Structure 1
């Protein structure tokens, strides 16, 4: 029944600012479906931006999407330079990966994962 993830939607206070921030970060085009929904498509994933409301207030406490990065420290520095702030970590997981969570300028989480050969093998079940 469930086949692939179609998109990730961020509920934010300002969809234009959030979509523009991510479009610049990921080097892609900001697109709009309607005044209530902007999106980008980069690295094989669609990220949508919808106004936060009482049903979906956004921010901390929801789902965190983790991006695989080759160098977690460099990724943290780049995101902090763009206005993100550290929220958790970085830590080394029990499987040997490095992980951290930052908050983007709109209050949403950005997970970072720097996998290791061991962590990738253990997740695959090798």
Structure 2
């Protein structure tokens, strides 16, 4: 069910500064999905940057790994049956993907991403 890590998202106070720092560090280019989400794709890794907020204040524990899933609703049901609870979403992103975040029974986040043809193409630089 969990196929691969789709992206790593960091919740930060300044998405532009964080994304620029990682773009330089990794030799990737800084891109935007929308004004509140920047990302860097380099060497097969996508790092995303979202503004920190009350639910995800960033810092220690401020990283969520997103797993690519073929059916986000089925994945949510499966994880909820195993004790996870919804934390955010699911939502449809500006790129047409569906994303959700759950909390496992230990309080850690599990990100889920059901990509769209457009999101996969754009994330990979198309």
- Give unmatched runs, 5+ long, in structure 1: 1-59
Aligned to 1:112: 112
User: 2:80 aligned with 1:86, yes or no?
Assistant: no
Q: Distance in 1 between matches of 2:73 and 2:65?
A: 18
Q: Offset of 1:124 from its aligned partner?
A: 1.0
Aligned to 1:47: none
Report 1:55-70 matches (<5 A).
61-70=61-70
* 3-state secondary structure, aligned to 1:87: strand
* 3-state secondary structure, aligned to 1:65: strand
For this pair of structures, how many residues does the alignment match? 67
Report 1:1-126 matches (<5 A).
61-126=61-126
Q: Offset of 1:93 from its aligned partner?
A: 0.4
Q: Offset of 1:125 from its aligned partner?
A: 1.5
Q: CA RMSD in A?
A: 1.3
Q: Distance in 2 between matches of 1:124 and 1:108?
A: 28
